[in-house]
Structure 1
């Protein structure tokens, strides 16, 4: 219990350290900062523009993974709030909403299922009961409710069944180890996997429990935009659901991107132009030093890139070459969806390098999607130019380069939002209570 308390304290203290560093490096006049804070605190959340179409897409927790993928694809969204299918309309949001699911969690689940199939196939038999729990991965047997060797064997058999249907001849033996087996999984393995039990019945709720990316912490329409800005910057949330007191359903879904695009539309107003004209160094940007920037070399495996993002809780990486880290590309956690949308990528995911991945994705049709090129700025660039790039290109980060395009820093949507505000003493607790702190702590574990 004591260790858990230390971890939880450390989670929020990291947010405090980040924000304190920002406030100590900003060179904005204090009266200007106080004026901005006061203005944002008087703007109600209800005044912020709604989501396209006017309706927030929600996914019931008992929805199968296959159906969830279909919903996300058809609606052209990367994430959605998850609802409790048993919730009544008179229930509070705490009982109605369970969290948020996105493509990233789903693809990681599929990849770990592939690892399980490969581990069993390497044994050369669909009835290999001796598969250790470690081969199942973070979700695997435990998340699916398996608790013993028999249950693991059942999942193993299902995984092998999917592999066989996907074109793998198990009985003839395809390899002596799991990596070799994984390389032989058929192009349609991931599709067949979603049609086999127990994977076919795996629901969004089970994945949600294993991949707690962010908490579900809504605000009401009467809350201030300062609350929204603090949650999306200091407290590291990527989106904030908006509810209407006493009514079921969400009224809005405000993201970091939407906020930065809103700031861009403020161009021409005195307060914005005053700050936007300043070089990024006046705002202390980039907050992260060149030694702290996490990157991926172009010849490394694409799986290593996604693993780095998952392990470090970050949304993207610069793709670099050489010891001086010259930027040649960009990989986002959102790009992991191409492993699901493009079977030829999935069938070779264990051998695919970052640069090979980029070269294949850029050739995909526009209706499937395209990788965003790396957007960069210089240390002498203005904050306004950075905001314009982030908003107009709909990207989540811009890399600061020097010399021959060498990465020396990164500026994220979170960083930009943080430039415009500070948190008054006990502001979060006064507006949300101590329960909000608990939920924010859980999101950082």
Structure 2
């Protein structure tokens, strides 16, 4: 998604009307610069719905894991599917599933692998160089490979599950990342059934913002020192 083209064309999401607000916010009294620049950026980002970002909707159903799944099974599953992480589904009583959130967290493939390597070190096991050797070691050490995903929450390996809906804005996503420092991935859910349909990562947001380079008002904000924004 090229944000420069979005601004030029309007993108059907009201950016044309806000372009004047953004431009005028950058002019005027320098003493109001900190507030006006922030407002200009917010106005722009708040008019980019998540649903307009390419790649948000996965072509296939999102892979989910259960809190009582074993670490070795989940690592193998994510490895086979070439997936970097997955939402964790908690055990919810069928009588209350309509009123309770199914998803309780998100865990990354890399976090589980690092945890296993640390546990191997504790029991004086040396990880083999290839990944298949790593999986074999998990099978041979049930105290590690057989650990339930739910147990990893005690090691703070879960990321909090703060979903956004497809109608939310990019600004809303940025606010979540800024307020929750452990958060690296934000799940995107359907408003009708709360099913996860895709993800937004911190790196994806950064790449998206980098495409704003070349917009005059954006460059004026980007070139200012952080100290000027308080």
Q: Please, what TM-score do these two structures have when normalized by structure 1?
A: 0.37
- Residue 44 of structure 1 and its aligned partner are, at CA, apart by 2.9
**Correspondence for 2:218 among 265, 272, 276:** 272
1:206 aligns with 2:151: yes
Alpha-carbon distance in 1 for matches of 2:206, 2:157: 25
Residue aligned with 2:220, SS? helix
Q: Supply the RMSD in Å over aligned alpha carbons.
A: 3.4
Alpha-carbon distance in 1 for matches of 2:99, 2:118: 32
- Residue 96 of structure 1 and its aligned partner are, at CA, apart by 0.7
Task: Provide closer, same or farther for how the CA distance between residues 98 and 248 of structure 1 changes in structure 2, counting only shifts above 3 A.
Answer: same
Structure with the larger RCO, 1 or 2 (CA within 8 Å, 6+ apart): 2
Report what 2:169 is aligned to.
224
- Residue 29 of structure 1 and its aligned partner are, at CA, apart by 4.9
Equivalenced residue count is 192
In the alignment, is the contact (CA less than 8 A) between 1:28 and 1:283 conserved in 2?
no
Report 1:188-203 matches (<5 A). Answer: 188=133, 191-203=136-148
Gaps of 5+ in 1: 1-26, 119-181, 286-418, 423-445
Residue aligned with 2:116, SS? helix
Task: Provide closer, same or farther for how the CA distance between residues 212 and 201 of structure 1 changes in structure 2, counting only shifts above 3 A.
Answer: closer
In the alignment, is the contact (CA less than 8 A) between 1:40 and 1:224 conserved in 2?
yes
In the alignment, is the contact (CA less than 8 A) between 2:49 and 2:169 conserved in 1?
yes
In the alignment, is the contact (CA less than 8 A) between 2:120 and 2:127 conserved in 1?
no
- Residue 189 of structure 1 and its aligned partner are, at CA, apart by 7.1
Alpha-carbon distance in 2 for matches of 1:241, 1:189: 29
- Residue 239 of structure 1 and its aligned partner are, at CA, apart by 1.7
Report what 2:200 is aligned to.
254
1:110 aligns with 2:56: no
Report what 2:73 is aligned to.
67
Alpha-carbon distance in 2 for matches of 1:60, 1:219: 21
Residue aligned with 1:82, SS? strand
**Pair member with larger Rg:** 1
Report what 1:283 is aligned to.
225
Q: Please, what TM-score do these two structures have when normalized by structure 2?
A: 0.66
In the alignment, is the contact (CA less than 8 A) between 1:88 and 1:96 conserved in 2?
no
- Residue 34 of structure 1 and its aligned partner are, at CA, apart by 1.3
